Amino acid sequence: MGKLMNAKEYEESLRKLKLNVYMFGRKVENPVDDPIIRPSMNAVAATYEFAHRPEYEDIMTAKSHITGKKINRFTHIHQSVDDLVKKSKMGRLLGSLTACCFQRCVGMDALNALSITTHAIDAKYNTEYYKRFLKYLEYVQENDLVCDGAMTDPKGDRSLAPSKQFDPDLFMHVVEERPDGIVVSGAKAHQTGAVNSHEIIVMPTITMREEDKDYAISFALPSDTEGITYIMGRQSCDTRKLEGMTFDRGNMHYGGHEALVVFDKVFVPWERVFMYKEYEFTTQLVENFAAYHRQSYACKVGVGDVLIGATQTIAEFNGTERASHVKDKIIEMNHLNETLFCGCIACAAEGHREPSGTYLVDVLLANVHKQNITRFPYEIARLAQDIAGGLVVTCPSAADLASPEVGKWVEKYLKTKPDVPTEHRLRILRLIENITMGTAAVGYLTESMHGAGSPQAQRIMIARLVNMKQKQKMARFLCGIDSSGA
């Protein structure tokens, strides 16, 4: 194809897929038009549509280092610090425009991590993984595809290595080797935007040892490959989407989804394999992907922008915007949100070039940024609920407001000011509910906690990467214990 898709073309490309999707115990014959899945598809479609907007072009598009063509930044391999910074700005932009998870970051981060690791494996073993990867990358860029990055295995008993599990399928592994490829079984959990993706890129979930080498695999497949099944995860308030376009949905345009993706003896041709039992490179792949993806939580800053805007609005509707404690709480929300932005910009600005030519973020700062993400959005959400008041969870439904019998009472008793329609007040309350405890809370809060690794994973990396010896050396010199300084 060789051109940037627009939103409509993206939607039509999904209709051509033959995905095996289950939700609520039933097969979903048409995921694109399913009312529960559709808002998440709309969010991905926005990443295509905004790439055509002149005001967003510099942030949303890039120049391919392979073909020289203009491509969507979500398919780009970072070629400079400026690329890394623009990635952070793109995350905030799209978060603010959709107020949800727009689902393409994981695939982008997988591509960039693989560009580094495949090059490194080839340098040691004289393999052809990097050549395969570049061919695959060109295919993704030319067709402007959505890639689902699949790293998280179910893991079973966390105290046991992959090869020691009672069920070997609890970690993705090779079950058969053929002349033309491999056969794999296993599953990937918490897969963001999986059924909105054209491709699925599989990576190992943890560092592997030699005894786990059958689990040290990475590959990519079309998302509708035979043997792949998608089981949709539930979200709070998800069935409100079945009620039609009522304001009870909170976000009237966009949403997100997660899925458990099962691989039941799935064939992978060799040209789609990017790691095969090179277990000593799993650490690099996992840690670099994690660093990129921890940077990607710039999106939460954008969602925070929307939540802060909604909180200011409900304060004005309620007549509390001049109260000193309300003003101070909103200042605190902005302080926390902008502090998060500082983190994702800092790890990008301190990025460096890897031997493959790919630019990697500063891994320490990326982990610090994500550690803050596990905390600050929860406080921002708490303050939003504080200012919004109890009605955020007790207001009647849109159907009650429209009811001939009780609508007049909802209208009368939930009104605050003559110039503020009751419906407007209920709409903004539903948006706050959606972001802080409804379907969007998956993308704003739970993802903030567990996405790209749970909080302890970042703390381990921070402890490993901080140069404690240098800090001690400077302290000892300045207080006169040691005579050697910097």
CA distances (Å), origin 336, targets 290, 432, 458? 23, 18, 19
Paired strand residues for 353: 359
In three-state secondary structure terms, 367 is helix
| Two tokens, residue 26 | 């039933």
User: Which is the catalytic residue, given 101, 344, 347, 395?
Assistant: 101
| CA contacts within 13 A on the Cβ side of 350 | 14
User: Which is the catalytic residue, given 47, 78, 129, 258?
Assistant: 258
258 catalytic, yes or no? yes
User: Which is the catalytic residue, given 293, 344, 354, 374?
Assistant: 293
DSSP characters for 277-329?
A: S-GGGHHHHHHHHHHHHHHGGGHHHHHHHHHHHHHHHHHHHHT-TT-HHHHHH
| Two tokens, residue 391 | 């009605």
What is the distance between the alpha carbons of residues 123 and 355, in angstroms, rounded to a whole number? 10
192 catalytic, yes or no? yes
147 catalytic, yes or no? no
User: Which is the catalytic residue, given 100, 215, 276, 299?
Assistant: 299
| Two tokens, residue 256 | 């997100």
Paired strand residues for 148: 200
| Two tokens, residue 224 | 């509708």
User: Which is the catalytic residue, given 278, 354, 433, 447?
Assistant: 447
Question: Which of 327, 282, 346 minimizes the C-alpha distance to 81?
Answer: 346
297 catalytic, yes or no? yes
What is the distance between the alpha carbons of residues 212 and 268, in angstroms, rounded to a whole number? 19
User: Which is the catalytic residue, given 61, 75, 192, 358?
Assistant: 192
User: Which is the catalytic residue, given 47, 65, 98, 105?
Assistant: 105
342 catalytic, yes or no? no
49 catalytic, yes or no? no
What is the distance between the alpha carbons of residues 306 and 386, in angstroms, rounded to a whole number? 16
Helix (H) or strand (E) holding 1: none
What is the distance between the alpha carbons of residues 376 and 366, in angstroms, rounded to a whole number? 15
Is residue 412 classed exposed, middle or buried when 0-12, 13-18 and 19+ CB atoms within 10 A define those classes? Answer: exposed
What is the distance between the alpha carbons of residues 88 and 347, in angstroms, rounded to a whole number? 9
215 catalytic, yes or no? no
138 catalytic, yes or no? no
DSSP characters for 132-144?
A: HHHHHHHHHHHHT
Question: Which of 87, 104, 108 minimizes the C-alpha distance to 348?
Answer: 87
User: Which is the catalytic residue, given 130, 215, 279, 297?
Assistant: 297
Quote the radius of gyration of the chain (alpha carbons, Å).
Answer: 24
What is the distance between the alpha carbons of residues 289 and 356, in angstroms, rounded to a whole number? 15
Residues with a known catalytic role: 101, 105, 192, 258, 293, 297, 299, 447
